[in-house]
Structure 1
Amino acid sequence: MPLHLSLVAVLTVIVCLLVRKSGHKIGHAVAAILLGFYLQGTSLASSISQSARAVITAINSLHL
């Protein structure tokens, strides 16, 4: 049974865990979110999106 998770949901969980367990501050999470919004409007957005898709495809092709 394949498990489908939104990349946004996974990244949100990771950021929340980092803030809670690793001693990162909320300001660090806000800075990361703002960086993501600003990167979305740059020419790097398409290459970041393609890289993320490639990683997700590679993870999905693993048979554990």
Structure 2
Amino acid sequence: MTISIPLVVLLGVAVVLAVRYLKLRLWMALVCAAFGYLLAATTLAPEIDRALRAFLSWITSGS
């Protein structure tokens, strides 16, 4: 899956805001990032990719 730069930037901003205003600890954000990185290498990755694509197409279709 090719992830567009705006999506990555949007998620990065969400993490920064969560760390700053929701009192999410930096180590918690790093653990979540490491988990996501390792999850991408599992056999579950294609299903996650498919679900993310379906969700993004639903959001962008305006429904």
Query: RMSD of aligned C-alpha atoms?
Result: 1.7
Aligned to 1:34: 34
Aligned length: 60
TM-score after normalising by structure 1? 0.82
> Greater relative contact order (Cα 8 A, min sep 6): structure 1 or 2?
2
Gaps of 5+ in 2: none
TM (norm. structure 2) is 0.83
Once superposed, which parts of structure 1, at least 4 consecutive aligned residues long, lie more than 4 Å away? Answer: none
Report sequence identity in percent.
32
Superposed counterparts of 1:2-17, under 5 Å: 6-17=6-17
